[in-house]
Amino acid sequence: MQSIFEYTNFQLYLQDFFEESKKLNHNFSHRYLAAKLGIAMPNLILLVMRGKRKMSTVLTARLSRFLRLKKREAIYFESMVGFMQAKTHEQRNTFFQHMLKLRRDLTTKKIEEGQYEYFSNWYNPVIRELVTYPDFRGNYTWLANKMHPHITPGQAKASVQLLLRLGLVKRSGRHYRQLDPIISTGPEVCSLAVVNFHRAVAFLAASSYDRTPKDEHNITGCTVNLSKETFNHTVTEISEFRRRALAIGDNANKSTRVYQLNVQLFPVSNK
């Protein structure tokens, strides 16, 4: 069984532990585990692994002892539980950042961490576009000043290094080109990273009223009544529009600027 630090989902970790234990001991069962943990409900751990019951602080501590986790591993296990069961986005971020600190000295760089870092701010995707411009030849001051709003040259350099490390861009001489690797990670980390990104660009969109002239941005909206069926239809149309917008961008031979396109559709009333 792989190291606990390879996991970000404690339920998957417990599932793998249970399957591994079953291979080593055919008598190992949920009832046996419950008895060892001193809990009356024989299928409680099964319900926890399936996400149907929450893991209490007491049960987390008992499991850590049963799993014979070392101190650092036990803290990581507790953080995983907190991450998966957090009630707010801020709490999930706090637990995940704690997990990253505990994993920092691992020899392998996990894609979850890279993706989380990639979506941690609004400008990494923008820089991925700008580094392909012929005028960029490793001058991070030029790159930082091209951002709107501006960032520091240090932030620009760190962003380029991240893109290279994740395989999202490739350097060829003094020029860069985009790569399109398939990045796969756990849904719990992906959703956290993407929410971080959308929150950042939503704030950026609001501040664009003050940062850019009226003829350089287009922010519109409408309020509509939708059934569940027409909501799903609208979401499909938005997805199709995004694909068409990406195709238009790919066919633009004389691009002069990077834009962020946000389409927002959300309920403003109760059912």
Identify the CATH class of 4-101: mainly alpha
- Counting DSSP H helices and E strands in the chain, the numbers are 12, 2
What does pTM read for this prediction? 0.57
Q: What is the pLDDT of residue 109?
A: 45
What is the secondary structure of 154-167 as a DSSP string? HHHHHHHHHHHHTT
CB neighbours of residue 46 within 10 Å: 19
Q: What is the pLDDT of residue 144?
A: 92
Q: What is the pLDDT of residue 189?
A: 65
Q: Where are the domains of the chain?
A: 4-101, 109-217, 220-271
Q: What is the pLDDT of residue 271?
A: 61
Q: What is the pLDDT of residue 119?
A: 81
Asked if 78 and 60 count as a contact pair (C-beta separation under 8 A), the reply is yes
Q: What is the pLDDT of residue 260?
A: 84
Nearest to 178 by CA among 120, 129, 245, 251: 129
CA 263/CA 241 separation, integer angstroms: 10
pLDDT tens digits for the chain (271 residues)?
788 988 889 999 999 999 999 988 888 999 999 999 999 999 999 999 999 999 999 999 999 999 999 999 999 999 999 999 999 888 988 898 888 888 765 544 455 667 778 888 889 988 998 998 888 888 999 999 998 888 999 999 999 999 998 888 999 888 898 886 544 455 666 677 778 787 878 878 777 777 888 788 777 788 888 899 999 999 899 888 988 888 887 776 677 788 888 887 767 556 6
What is the secondary structure of 170-212 as a DSSP string? EEETTEEEE--------HHHHHHHHHHHHHHHHHHHHHHHHHS
Nearest to 33 by CA among 54, 52, 47: 47
Q: What is the pLDDT of residue 164?
A: 92
CATH number of 109-217: 1.10.10
Residues 6+ apart with CB under 8 A from 13: 4, 7, 77, 80
